[in-house]
Amino acid sequence: MMGPIAEVVENASNMAASLDTSVKKTGTQKRDVDYIAEYVSYVNESAEARKAAEAAGGAYDAAGSVAKFKTQMGVGEIDAEMDAFYAARK
């Protein structure tokens, strides 16, 4: 892989190595390790979808994949919580 996706995968690998995922993590460390694993799974799924689309002679729908991942990660709910939090502080 080349480009931004490869950089993200490399950064995630480096972060996972620095967190030593062979040791059972708890609290925020576990959350970080889980988040990295989840994100890497999305990157891999996206790469596979791109390869499949190209093999079929079609275009890869990056926007569709990003929307799917945002839904799976609960980004909309998190954004709503943050909006409510900042609105309450005004």
State pLDDT tens for residues 74-89: 888 888 888 998 899 8
| Side chain identity, residue 35 | Y
Q: Cα(36)–Cα(77) distance, rounded to whole angstroms?
A: 20
Model pLDDT, residue 20: 61
What range does the domain containing 38 cover? 4-89
The pLDDT-based confidence of 48 (bands split at 50, 70, 90) is very high
Its pTM stands at: 0.53
The pLDDT tens digits of the residues spanning 4-24 come to 777 777 777 777 666 665 666
- The total number of structural domains in the chain stands at 1
Q: Which two tokens stand for residue 71?
A: 């839904």
